Structure 1
Amino acid sequence: MLQAIKKTVLFSLLGISIGLLNSPKMFSQEVSASSEIHYFLDLVTTSSRSEQEKLLTTIEKNWKPEFTIMAIEVMYFGYTSDIGVKMALVLQKKTGQNFGLDFNKWYEYLWNQEQKILPDYAYFKSQLHKSLDAKFETYFQGRQPSSLIRMDEIRWGGVQQDGIPPLRDPAMIPASSASYLEDDHIVFGIVVNGDARAYPKRILAWHEMFVDEVGGIPVTGVYCTLCGTVILYKSEVNGIVHEMGTSGFLYRSNKLMYDQATQSLWSTLEGKPVVGPLVGKGIQMDYLSVVTTTWGEWKERHPETEVLSLSTGHRRDYGEGVAYQAYFANDDLMFNVPSVNGKLKNKQSILAIRLPEYPEQPLAISVKYLKKNPVYQSTIGDTRFVVFTDKTGANRVYNARNLNFKKYDQKSTATDARGDVWTVYEDRIENSSGEVRPRIHTFNAFWFGWQAAYPDTKLVK
């Protein structure tokens, strides 16, 4: 099971990191950092017990709130050694909190306070993490001023860069050749310029990203299994195609992407750089539509569709429900967030709507609610929209403008209050008079992940 595998990788890499951290040659000598930063860096590189004790005493004597995140990260990476235990004792004494070696509790405590980090905290973070992957140094080194998100909330997810390998230009096969799929298997369906594709969950959960050209357009599809989001983006912005990958880091349990050219970190939810040289340059990838449905329903709607081949170039058990089986089977989180909201269960699926023209009005609608109400209409700002939900629970959202819809056959036909019949397409709805209403790009997500990213979101349930 992938959760168990990820934990094994996490613990083994942590073990590797301790050995690397204990190498005196690990840290860069080219960049100067404050003596306070080196209290912590020296602590994890020295093998001298007496020197460790001196450094722990110095840290405790000179304690300030800005030390908390570094102490937690040292404890996190040194949990198998005396350093981790002793750092936990210092943390407990200086903060008054008694969480022992429970990293999630320490992170939750920290993240519910105003961020307090040293001016060169990013240097500490770059040096601490580069033992896991040399590329990690670039993510943080010199980039603290550019960060749009709390740097102390950027947490290693247990894998190296592209350690969960994206599918790049993956092999596709016609629907008739997809004998490995059953009709009730979950797929993520897209149509771009008439080019229909299906990406089965059973495959994509092992890779969490695909980079492809669909309908003549370069696209990036990102699946954050932890937060239940599948989002499709146009990879090209202002004439530049950004080659995206999996950074290995998380922000509020949602994966951070990176671009190969600058190694900037990108928000998965918003499709824009949040740490690095691309921040502040007006770069944001446009959303495209994706629908979570069953293979049987998708191929009935799109018999011409292509679907991922099992020949991915990787050896995985692509059986239905194998990847992340334990994680999806309960409501526990693998990586925590600042707080959870009990209005819904953590992993209850919601339809996430955040219109570009009204970014401060995010909306979450319970998928269970939508299954009971296959026609749902509301407004965000001046935009009136309608959600059509089919029998598989798949949601499609359209700009309704001045219309009021009364019926949806949960297939391809909807009827408005005037009695006009509309055909439901992936990119639009259209009536016999040629009136068109465009698709609004939305996606599904787990409630906890969406609420963590947008704590003030409105919820319909």
Structure 2
Amino acid sequence: MRRRRYLAALGLAGATGLAGCAGYVGSTAEETPTRSPSSEPVQVGDVTLPVDRSELFTALHRDGIPAITDPAFGADWTDWSAVAVEHRPPAAERPTLPDEFAVVGVERGGEARAYPLAVLDWHEVVNDVFEPPSTARRPTADGALGGALLVTYCPLCGSGVVAERVVDGEPTTFGVSGMLWRDDLVLYDRATDSLWSQLLATAIRGPKTGTQLRLVPSTLSSWGEWRTAHPETRVLLPPPGSVAVDGRRGQVRDYGDSKYGYETQSQLVGFDSDGEGLGERTLVAGVDHEGVARAYPFPVVRGEDVVNDRVGGLPVVVALAPGGTLVAYDRRVDGGTLRFEAADDRHLCAGGSRWERTTGRAADGPYDGARLAPTAAHTAMFWSAWVAFHPDTTVYGR
């Protein structure tokens, strides 16, 4: 399809919060190593750090949105067995988690966890440990410190970013600063009080300026589809099961009621994805490789179902996943490049195998058990967020 630069046509270049800046740290599936800060100004893409204080917008006081610091998990939201009896609300007051609600899914070390947007809407940051505390600092195969995990979600951008919450070799607790940078969540860390951009996964002000967190791939999915693909998954329980910052368990609230007035709590496709245009809240799968960025809008991918493309030399497949979200994978497997077609609503097909759309895993055939690498460690997000951090992006199908 014909593609062209779309920024000027949409008139977004001068919009508030959409000034141009760098692309994501670590746009490939591999986890990105931590980068040490420098005493000199640091360049990340076309952003010079530290950012000027005038670029930060203070929306709330620090911890006005309470990060979760002690998460609890269950098989679903009816399972509160991991929570002390005195902190379990009566069964009639416990929220429910419908299959269509969206979750940020993470797989690590053979374990799967789901973090519902119904909780992340209200808390935005989860400080998790994927392994028991005694092994949380055990090096992984690539030398990284496993276990200490940071799960973030910015409702304004629709962006989920997951990283290791390790700074200077030590697990660190993160919170919500109350500030926005280019309409995106800004975090702070308790160890150094530095400010961190969610989308860049980088410290943008403070002692750790220029330090980059190691990113961990994540998936945006519906709870029902994630659970089908990962039958043993655990799911984050809302407060008072999970504990927020400063030991606050929070009130029992209706976590099915969107804090931001979205039409549907599932938020899988955003406000504008049902139309044919490209609105600020149109969901896009973004790919950034070798200095080339491309957005794949939900309406376009929905029309084609499966898109085989190349971005900066990277062969990618972008597809609609069950539950109504977007996935993007590297098409290279075992030294070859596959071309994908639709098999059914839950599978793609290539090389004689069927591949699960949600996980990228081959379910049968010659590649049975193999897995496609995601093209990025972040989830699909709103168009406004992608173009703010990739002002020179092209748009597939435009």
Please indicate the TM-score interval, normalised by the length of the shorter structure: 0.5 to 0.7
Matched residue count: 307
Q: Tell me: CA distance 1:409–1:386, structure 2 relative to 1, closer, same or farther (3 Å).
A: same
Deviations 1:229-288, CA, capped at 9 Å, x for gaps: 1111122356333322211111111111112111111111110111122224xx312322
Distance 1:315 1:347, change over 3 A: same
1:170 aligned partner: 71
For residue 108 of structure 1, report the CA deviation from its aligned partner: 6.3
Partner of 1:297: 225
SS at match of 2:300: helix
3-state SS, counterpart of residue 298 of structure 1: helix
Aligned position for 1:253: 183
User: Is residue 319 from structure 1 mapped to residue 255 from structure 2 by the alignment?
Assistant: yes
Distance 2:258 2:312 in 1: 42
Structure 1 vs Structure 2: percent identity of aligned residues?
27
| Structure 1: runs of 5+ lacking an equivalent | 1-106, 114-142, 330-341
Q: Which residue number corresponds to residue 52 of structure 1?
A: none
Instruction: Map 1:27-426; keep pairs closer than 5 Å.
Output: 147-157=49-59, 159-175=60-76, 177=78, 180-214=96-130, 217-236=147-166, 239-280=169-210, 283-310=211-238, 311-312=241-242, 313-325=249-261, 344-355=278-289, 358=290, 360-401=291-332, 402-411=337-346, 413-416=347-350, 418-422=351-355, 426=359
- Cα root mean square deviation, aligned: 3.3
Alignment of 1:428-443 (within 5 A): 428-429=361-362, 432-434=365-367, 436-440=371-375, 441-443=377-379
CA distance in 1, matches of 2:215, 2:194: 19
Partner of 1:371, secondary structure, is helix
- The answer to whether the 8 Å contact 2:316/2:328 transfers is yes
Distance 1:228 1:363 in 2: 17
Matched-pair contact (CA < 8 Å) for 1:208–1:222: yes
Q: How far off is 1:368 after superposition? A: 2.4
CA distance in 2, matches of 1:316, 1:453: 36
2:383 alignment counterpart: 447
Q: Which runs of 5+ in 2 are unaligned?
A: 1-13, 21-39, 43-47, 80-94, 132-145, 243-248, 266-275
Give the residue type in structure 2 aligned to 1:226. L
Looking at structure 2, the residues matched to 160 and 450 of structure 1 have their Cα atoms a distance apart, in angstroms, of 26
CA distance in 2, matches of 1:237, 1:379: 35
The 1:361/1:318 distance shift into structure 2, 3 A limit, reads: farther
State how far apart, in whole Å, the 2-side matches of 1:226 and 1:327 are.
14
SS at match of 1:210: strand
Q: Is this contact kept in 2: 1:175–1:299, CA < 8 A? A: no
Deviation at 1:167, TM superposition (A): 1.0
Retained in 1: the 8 A contact 2:343–2:354? no
Counterpart of 1:229, as a letter, is: S
Q: For residues 204 and 274 of structure 1, what CA distance do their matches in structure 2 show?
A: 23
SS at match of 1:346: coil
Query: Higher relative contact order at CA 8 Å, sep ≥6: structure 1 or structure 2?
Result: 2
Work out the CA distance in 1 between the residues paired with 2:18 and 2:101.
38
Deviations 1:141-183 (A, max 9, x none): xx999844343221111x2112101111311111383572222
- How big is each residue's C-alpha offset from its partner over 1:328-371, in whole Å with a ceiling of 9 and x where there is no partner? 89xxxxxxxxxxxx97212222122234xx2x322221122223
CA distance in 2, matches of 1:352, 1:109: 21
Give the C-alpha shift of residue 373 in structure 1.
Answer: 2.7
**CA distance in structure 2 between the partners assigned to 1:450 and 1:267 by the alignment:** 14
Q: Counterparts of 1:249 and 1:376 in 2: how far apart (Å)?
A: 37
2:34 aligned residue? none
* Residues 190 and 408 of structure 1: CA distance in aligned 2, closer, same or farther (over 3 Å): farther
User: What TM-score, normalized by structure 2, do the two folds share?
Assistant: 0.68
Shift in CA distance, 169/192, structure 1 to aligned 2, threshold 3 Å: farther
CA–CA distance in structure 1, aligned partners of residues 125 and 19 of structure 2: 31
Deviation at 1:430, TM superposition (A): 7.3
In 1, Cα distance between equivalents of 2:229 and 2:282: 27
Computing the radius of gyration from Cα coordinates, the structure with the larger value is 1
Counterpart of 2:139?
Answer: none
SS at the partner of 1:288? Answer: coil
TM-aligned CA deviation for residue 110 of structure 1: 11
Which residue of 2 is the match for residue 120 of structure 1?
Answer: none
- 1 CA distance for matches of 2:103 and 2:17? 38
- The 8 Å contact of residues 69 and 173 in structure 2, kept in 1 or not, is answered as no
User: CA 1:111–1:302 in 2, change beyond 3 Å: closer, same or farther?
Assistant: closer
**How has the CA–CA distance of structure 1 residues 209 and 408 changed in structure 2, closer, same or farther, with 3 Å as cutoff?**
farther
Q: Partners of 1:321 and 1:269 in 2: how far apart?
A: 26
